[in-house]
Structure formats: C-alpha cells, structure tokens
A and B are shown apart, each in its own frame.
Chain A
Amino acid sequence: MKHIFIKKLAAVFLCLSLSLNLVACGNNTEAKEENQIIVFNYGDYIDRDVLEQFEKETGIKVLYEEFLTPEAMYTKYKNGTVKYDLICCSDYMLDKMIKDGEAREIDIDSMEYTSNIDNDFWQVSKSFDAQNKYTVPYFWGTVGILYNTSMLDFVPDSWEFLWDKRFKNNIIMQNSVRDSFIPPLVLDGKSINTTDEKVLRKALKRLEEQKELVQSYLVDEVRDDMANEQAALAVIYSGEASLASEYNEDLEYVVPKEGSNIWMDSWIIPRSSSNYEGAVKFLDFLCRDDIAQKNFEYVYYSTPNKAVLDNIDDEEKEEDNAIFPDNDILKRCEMFTYPGEEAEKLYNRLWKELKVY
C-alpha cells in the first residue's frame, strides 16, 4: 500500500505508457474492447505473473494501471477518461464510492472461490459494505508503532510514547490526515471516525504539542527511514512494518493496547465498467487458492484468504505478528468510514492548521 519512491516513479512511467496504449487503442475496433479488462490498483500491489496467467487461461487481456493514493485514484476515476472495470482501494474510499452510487453490485454467490475468504472479513467489511454486495476483500492490516529495539529497551505498547519527550526528534508520523489523527483520538477514547469539531480540535491540540518532538511526517519513506535507523518510533501500516523488519532485524511492530485502525483493501466494480463478466472472472481468479497463495507471497500483507492461511505453518505465523496478528486485534481496532463532505473539509482544515503550526 505504501511504497518507496523508486516505485512511485515506476508507477508514473507505467501510467504514462498505459495511457499512451489506451490512446493507441482508441482507434481500434469495438470488438477488441470486449475481451479486455482495465484494472486500477495501488502501486506494486499484485504479482505480475498473476496477470499473465489470467490472460493465458481466459484469453481476456488485462490493462493494468497503478495509483498512489485513494484520493488520486478517485480524481482520476471521476475524470472518466478511462473506463475502469475493477478498482482496488481502501475502506473509507470504498465507503464513499458505495454511498455515491459509484459501485456496481457483484453477484458474489455465483463466484466459485469467494468462499475462500474468511467469514470474519466479510463481517468486518460490513462497516463500509453493509450487505457484502459491492466489495470482495483483498488484503488487510492494522496501523501501529514500529520501533527499533536497539534504541528502546521496552515495548512501546501505548500511543502515549509518541508524546514522550525522551524521543524528541526520534518519531516519524504518517503524512496523511486521517492516519495522523488516530493516536490522539484513540488516546482520548474517541472514535477515529468522529465528526465532532470539539473532539477533533482537542486531538489537534495534542498533535500540535507533539510537533516539536516529530522528526518528520512521511508516507512512503517511513519504512526506509526506519530500516535506516533514522528514528526510534514510527506510526506505520502493518504490511510496511513487516517489510521494514526484513531489511532491519532490530525493528518490531506493536499495535497499541488502546486500540487502533484496521484497514481493508477490497475490489470494487465501478459503475463505468464495460466488461462486468471479465471483471468478475478476474476477481474469482484472485480468490483461487493457488493464485491467492502466489499473490500473498509477493505482496506479503495480511490476507483474508482461509486457503492461504491454512497453508502457512504456525512457526511463520508466530514470527511475524505484523502480518499474522492475534485474533483479538480485530476487536480492539476500528475501521475508517467516510465521514461525509463537511467533515472531510474540517479534517483538511485541521490538518492545514497543524502543518502551519
């Protein structure tokens, strides 16, 4: 979900080459379009071999495009130049798209392999897709603290440590509105989806106090900087945490005891889709045991796919608590929902105030 800069560049080039492709295809016959799907996903969030295999098995051509942030995706989707058949995005953006009527109903029961998705995750998805009609879960994870055991001799299992003066200039925060409001809101015992201005102002106050302790607000570079031992603590996504600890053995991940955010990236078929059958076929293909396994090994984020989870031995599960968290974590954590346009404006306003503070 969050990626290093080089991959950003790669994504930009890909987008460019794809849009050129699309332009080039523009004057081809309609018939050709019948047998292709246009897939829009986060950068580096799928095993490319899976795409090839799908093309080989079904004869449906996959045009694959990547984006950086849900917001960038939505802007591009709304723009309407490219008629996407499948989009993978995060909970709150899916919530917004479903509420706006941008999603097309998927006949999930008709698909062969969707039963591979653990029931827990259909339940969790209900926070944005109440009847499990519009989305199919892809990967999920939590937001927590990544810390360097060589700089800390205890487990920072509370968000409080992000306000600890001992870590001045040693803290990395997420450079995005909603994510950075998680710690103060959870500490205040409030919902991370609150739209109450008073509550949010209090959270902002906490963040402003914290600003002098923060080394930087980053998105994609959090992982690299932590692996590089730039800081002792960082707020990070579980998938990124696991990757970071591959680069640097001293890094450990913890979901604070007060609770946190659980996120879910799911597939959605937008209203603009012109090849519903192809899109459903691709979705089903992604849920198939062998493909899900392959994809999981490449992406290495928490998977909701039972078939894959059953295949992994307990030792590996114990070793990586970022990717295979305890079951009770789902209960402690809350999912983001779309707060509505007014609240979104407010969040942005507060974010700006923090940035100029």
Chain B
Amino acid sequence: MGKSSSKFLAGPYIVWMVLFTIIPLCMVVYNAFTDSYGAFTMENVSAIFDPVNAKPLWLSFKMSFIVTVACFLIAFPLAMVLWKYSKNRNSFIVMVFILPMWMNFMLRTLAWRLILLNNGFLNHGLEMLGLNHVYLMNTKAAIILGTAYDYFPFMLLPIYNALVKIDKDVINAAKDLGATGFVILKRIILPLSIPGIVSGLTMVFVPSMSEFVIADMLGGGKVYLIGNVIEQAFNSGYADVHLGSGLSLSLMGIIVISMLVYKFFDKGEERSGVW
C-alpha cells in the first residue's frame, strides 16, 4: 500500500516534470539539430566553437569560477560562525542571511546599480571620507560582485546545513584525543561537510555560468557572456531559435561534463576518507 500511495503522491510532480522539463528539453534538442527548413544539421551545436561564441563562453567560465570561489571563501567561515553561535536552524542570525532572498533578485541587482554608479552611493560615501572615486559600474568586477551577491545564499545554506548535521560529540572526542583546531577542521569538519560544499558549489557555478540579466544590468552592455549570446539569438531581430537551442545544448553539455569530472574527483576523495 505504501508504495502505491507514494506513487500517487508523486503524480503531480511527474506531470510537472514532463510539462516543464522533458517536453521543453525535447524541443531544445529538436531545434538544436535542425535548421529553419527542418533539415538535420550540426551547425547550431558546433557554433559554440565559433570565436564570437567561444569567447563569451570562456569569459562566462572564468567569471563564474571567480564568483564560485569567492562565494565559497566567504560562505564557509561564515557558516562555521553561524553554526557555532546559533542555537538552531531557525535562529534569528540565520534568518538575517536568508532575508535578502525574499526580495526579487532584479530589484536587488537594480539596487547595486544605484550603489555603483559613478555618482552613486558608494562614490558619495568615498567622497565624504575624502577618498578617490572608484569606477566599478559597467566593468567585469561589477558583474562578479552582483552575481556573487545574488547567489551567495545558495552557497551558505547547504554548507550550513551540512555543518549542523555534524555530531558535536565527534569534535569533542577529537579534542579529548588532543587534536588541534586545524586538525579538527581538516580531518573532521571539512570531510563531513563535503556534501554541502558540493551542492553549494554546484548551485552557484551552474546558474552563474548562464547568467545574463546581471551582466546586462551592471555591465552596461560592454561585457558579453554566453547567456547574452543565447538571449540575443532568441530575441534579436533575426530570431534564430535553432542557433539559440544549439548553443544552449552545448552549454548544457559542457556543464554536465564538468559535473561528471567533478563527481569523479569527489568520489575519489570519499574513498580516501574511508581508508
């Protein structure tokens, strides 16, 4: 009985999956391998190697790498602090970090624009302190900042959740046996929080790889990412659904491959943990 009722409950989810994941994905695959006359072609998928597409892809890769690393470097220590000082998962201090997520991300990005403008809040503040202006707006740095800000909670929460699950007795035991703080971090906390770190890295890296809205809003149209290329393919005067689909598919492929590589290393680490 249990099995059939759980199947029944999964029904809506399956319908959802089919309607909004499987069918659109099939359409993307179909469009990617056909031209506007419906004939089979590899052109759209191989278009990713064309310099006008490959350059933005490489730039996207570099930028989302920086964003992911930056998010991790800030999120991990912060998650440790939260773990230490918050009594439970719903405590006020944790909420403070989730709170910005309740606001629409476009509005948050728009706010960054107002802060970073040449005569925005940031430069007004610097002026009052008698410092020189910084020209961050319309640069790659602005986009990295905006993206890292927007995706930061997606790094913080999984790591925090993983940390919360660690039994404090394990750490106390290590201390009893004379382990230093560094050893505890390296041998206990880090290995045990790896599932959280992995999902944090994925949840930041993958979406920021195909990001284009933040690049549009903070980059002043001067920074052109692979997301912008795909968006333009769908939305420009000569709307090329096939090229857009082809590029999306190649991007998906690249992300899947990098995830597999990543999983491979990840597994290797787990094994060494067992030994």
Contacts and interface: CB of A to CB of B under 8 A. Distances in A.
Given A169-B135, A217-B221, A356-B52, A347 B119 contact: no
Contact of B138 (A9, A177, A216, A355): A216
Given A5-B110, A228-B119, A177 B221 contact: no
Interface string B220-236: 11101000110010111
Contacts of B170: none
Interface stretch (A24-32, A68-76, A285-293): A68-76
B110 to A, nearest CB: 6
Given A5-B110, A228-B119, A352 B221 contact: no
Nearest to A5: B110
Interface string A329-357: 00000000000010011011101110110
A230 B123 CA distance: 12
Contact of B237 (A225, A344, A355): A344
B250 to A, nearest CB: 16
A355 B224 contact: yes
B221 A356 contact: no
Contact of B236 (A228, A230, A348): A348
Contact of A71 (B138, B220, B228, B235): B235
B12 interface: no
Q: Which bucket holds chain B's interface residue count? A: 20 to 34
Contact of A75 (B137, B232, B235): B235
Contact of B52 (A72, A216, A225, A353): A353
Interface in B123-142: 135, 137-138
A272 interface: no
B45 to A, nearest CB: 18
Interface in B110-159: 110, 117-119, 135, 137-138
Contacts of A75: 234-235, 239
A262 to B, nearest CB: 19
Interface residues on A, range: 20 to 34
B268 to A, nearest CB: 37
Contacts of A230: 117-119
Interface in A164-182: 169, 175, 177-178
Given A215-B220, A356-B51, A72 B238 contact: no
B50 to A, nearest CB: 9
A70 B235 CA distance: 10
Contacts of A216: 137-138, 220-222
B17 to A, nearest CB: 22
Contacts of B221: 175, 216-218, 355
Interface string B5-41: 0000000000000000000000000000000000000
Contact of B238 (A169, A345, A355): A345
Given A216-B138, A356-B56, A356-B224, A348 B238 contact: yes
26 contacts: A71-B235, A71-B236, A71-B237, A175-B221, A177-B237, A211-B222, A214-B222, A215-B138, A215-B220, A216-B222, A217-B222, A225-B117, A228-B117, A230-B118, A347-B238, A348-B232, A348-B236, A349-B52, A351-B236, A352-B53, A352-B232, A353-B52, A355-B221, A356-B51, A356-B52, A356-B56
What are the 7 tightest A-B residue pairs by CB atom distance, in nearest-first order?
Answer: A216-B220, A217-B221, A355-B224, A344-B238, A175-B221, A352-B52, A356-B55
Given A218-B221, A230-B118, A355-B224, 18 more contacts: A5-B110, A9-B106, A69-B235, A70-B237, A71-B236, A75-B234, A177-B236, A178-B237, A216-B138, A217-B222, A228-B117, A341-B238, A344-B237, A348-B237, A349-B52, A352-B224, A352-B232, A356-B51
Interface of A: 5, 9, 69-72, 74-75, 169, 175, 177-178, 211, 214-218, 225, 228-230, 341, 344-345, 347-349, 351-353, 355-356
